[in-house]
Chain A
Amino acid sequence: MTVPTDLDRRFRESAARSGLLDAGFDVVETPLGELLVAATERGLLRISFDPEPEAELEHLMRIAGPRVLRAPGAVDAVRRELDEYFDHRRQRFDLTLDLRGTTAFTQAVLDELARVPYGQTATYAELAARSGRPKAARAVGMVMNRNPVPIVLPCHRIVGSSGDLVGYGGGLERKEALLRLEGVTF
């Protein structure tokens, strides 16, 4: 016997509204494929290009706590803003972020990353300089690679000093697609 869809949905909705979840997640359809999106009461916690919940659940549990549940209602705002972004109706995200567990350096780099405007790029070295650590381009690369909320924090806009795309946690073809969406030529 399986639990009827309606009943299952009702429980997940109540759980999301109850304020008892450490994190709620859902799989969101985008032109780049399915994304796993997770949010807490504080804000957006994670966007992952690997939509396989099994792989992500343990990770979410480690950062947020054990009460992690698939609850579409918990990520409604994120889903809406992502839809608008992919539909060329949004250039800035208004979501609050829950970046718990990040170091001061990572936080500084991500703050600067958030300021790189839509449709523009910056180099790893430039981002390092803006974060107050001009020699830390490589460390900035690591921060980009581990960006907890790609797309919303636009690590796809960070490129190598010669202008080549270098790398992307979600795969280079996704980085290209995001830049193309924003009208960047490269």
Chain B
Amino acid sequence: MMNAVAGPIPPFETFYELHAPEVLRFLRGKVGRDRADDAFQETFLRALKAYGRLRHGEHLRAWVLTIATRVAVDTHRRTRETPGELPETEHVDATPAYADLGELTDGLPAKERAAVVLRYGYDLDYRQIAAALGSSPDAARQAASSGVRRLRAERRRQP
């Protein structure tokens, strides 16, 4: 099996069973117990949707925590918006809220993206990020900074 080295993709059931408890714990921390159940559902449905496009089974933990992070961001955004408020486009010029980091980092490799979102979106320190990504603090720092470098390069390429 050639792709055994690259880390084959496990059946979704295996992936879900392995990461569900941690994702739920993570979401409870981010959005609170009351809203964590819905966020949990949303996270794994998004993961399910994207799962068929995965090319290898590496960093799945970081990958799903990144999705969970984005769902938490969306949950916060929804709660802040109440009917009658100005539409969101009104504050496009404001400093990107961590909500926007999700989209900005779409093109990054999973690990870098997770590191960037967790560092600059959630202000986690590198020790916490390392724990979330299953790597060392140094590796987390490296992933975040290479993610940022990549984003800058990306921005320069855009007209």
Contacts and interface: CB of A to CB of B under 8 A. Distances in A.
Interface in B41-61: 41, 44-45, 48-49, 51-52, 54
Interface residues of A, number: 24
B45 A57 contact: no
B41 A69 contact: no
Contacts, number: 61
Interface string A5-29: 0011011001100101110000000
B45 A15 contact: yes
Contacts of B10: 66
B25 interface: yes
Contacts of A2: 21
A167 interface: no
B82 interface: no
Interface stretch (B12-20, B90-98, B120-128, B129-137): B12-20
B11 A1 contact: no
Interface string B1-45: 000000001111110100011001100000000000100110011
B40 A11 contact: yes
A175 interface: no
Contact of B24 (A3, A14, A60): A3
A8 B88 CA distance: 34
B45 A68 contact: no
Interface string A162-178: 00000000000000000
A67 B16 CA distance: 10
Interface of A: 1-3, 7-8, 10-11, 14-15, 18, 20-22, 53, 57-58, 60-61, 65-70
